[in-house]
Amino acid sequence: MPADNRKGSRRYVAHGARITWEGSADLTDCRMADVSAFGARLELKDVEAIPEQFILLLSHDGRLRRQCKVVWRSKDAIGIEFKPPFPTKIKKASAITSV
């Protein structure tokens, strides 16, 4: 793993996820080993098969997803950066007033 140039602190997790990319009908299983607001480390079997940019599916139904860019690769892991726009907090609906 390269020098630690992270924008934020990482939290260690063991979360299963899947990778897909434009033009691919396949899903590649991976394990999110650590995560921050800006990126993550993913462990997977075939690091070289993953393109430089892809979509990380974080939920079973694929609704929770992030656009990602690979920033480093090792034998069995990749470091990724989440591409903007980043999710924001859900805003509470303002009260509806009638006229």
Report residue 27: phi and psi, to 5°.
Answer: -120, 135
pLDDT at 98: 40
Task: Find out whether the peptide bond into 2 is cis, omega within 30 degrees of 0.
Answer: no
pLDDT at 28: 95
Q: What is the pTM of this model?
A: 0.76
| Beta partners for residue 55, in sequence order | 20, 67
Could you tell me the mean pLDDT of each successive run of 10 residues in the chain, 99 residues long? Answer: 61 93 92 94 96 94 92 97 72 42
pLDDT at 63: 87
Tokens coding 62? 């694929």
The domains of the chain, with CATH numbers, are: 11-82 (2.40.10.220)
